[in-house]
Amino acid sequence: MKIRLNKFIAICGIVSRRKADELIKQGRVTVNGEIVEKLGIKVDPEKDIVEVDGKKISYKENLIYLVLYKPKGYIVSLRDPFNRPKVMDLLPDFKERIFPVGRLDYDSEGILLLTNDGELAYRLTHPRYKVERVYRVEVKGIPSPEKLEKLEKGIPLYGKRTAPSKVKLIAKKGKKALLEIKLYEGRKRQVKLMFLAIGHPVLSLKRISFGGITIKGLKPGEWRHLNKKEIKVLKKNVSLLD
């Protein structure tokens, strides 16, 4: 059965489908020795030889799924020109190439998923699948019910209104407030910008759940493999199970 080239690259755990398209545009992908010059072509995984940067790729039999409690002061990136601590520094050297699912700011903490399952990673971060992310947020001041309702309905961000969310005031701490917010999309610095838009800058941010997976039992910097039940939950959330 033939499948789209970008999907095959993602399934092999190289990069997401979106980034696979970028590799194709850059002329870094060949099929049967020929550089691919246009997007959308299909390949037969059992017959065609696909190479990225001159290296043959194939389905990964050993798929890895990890959950990490990202501490503050680490960047979610494979490389950093400023030589700051990276989340990958907290993990052992796996034979397989694993990568973070989505992002979490340098000064934020909480759950981060990592895998070499490119198709799952792509779907978990695509807004179409509405994967739930839950954050505990401490902000300056006490937001009024009207402001929280405004957040829930959506506010303009990057030229597009944010998707509906759920916000709950957990506690008032003097001139600060602790809240919980549930989002179904993950734009860059979204939580911080949303609260800034209603006049309550974020003082600290912790993601406590992603797609139903939590960091329960983990301390900052610790990680573990997801169990079969958790993997099934993630795949079911993004329609990867029959």
pLDDT at 229: 94
Both structure tokens of 21: 């398209």
Give the domain range for residue 165. Answer: 132-210
pLDDT at 61: 59
Write the CATH number for 183: 3.30.70.1560
Query: Is residue 99 domain-resident?
Result: yes
Query: Is residue 12 domain-resident?
Result: yes
First to last CA, the chain: 17
pLDDT at 14: 84
pLDDT at 71: 98
pLDDT at 76: 94
CB 119 within 8 A of CB 7: yes
Please identify every stretch of the chain with a pLDDT value under 50, giving residue numbers as ranges: none
Q: What is the DSSP letter of 86?
A: B
pLDDT at 195: 97
Judgement on whether residues 45 and 12 belong to the same structural domain of the protein: yes
Both structure tokens of 110: 């909480």
Q: How many domains does the chain have?
A: 3
pLDDT at 10: 83
Judgement on whether residues 162 and 51 belong to the same structural domain of the protein: no
Query: Is residue 242 domain-resident?
Result: no
Q: What is the DSSP letter of 42?
A: E
Write the CATH number for 46: 3.10.290.10
Burial 175-186 (b: 16+ CB within 10 A, else e): eebbbebebebb
pLDDT at 180: 98
> What global pTM score does this model have?
0.77
pLDDT at 58: 80
pLDDT at 94: 85
Judgement on whether residues 113 and 229 belong to the same structural domain of the protein: yes
Residues with a catalytic annotation lie at 105
CA 108 to chain centre: 14
pLDDT one-digit tens code per residue, 24-49: 999 999 999 999 988 999 998 878 99
CB 183 within 8 A of CB 135: yes
Judgement on whether residues 122 and 217 belong to the same structural domain of the protein: yes
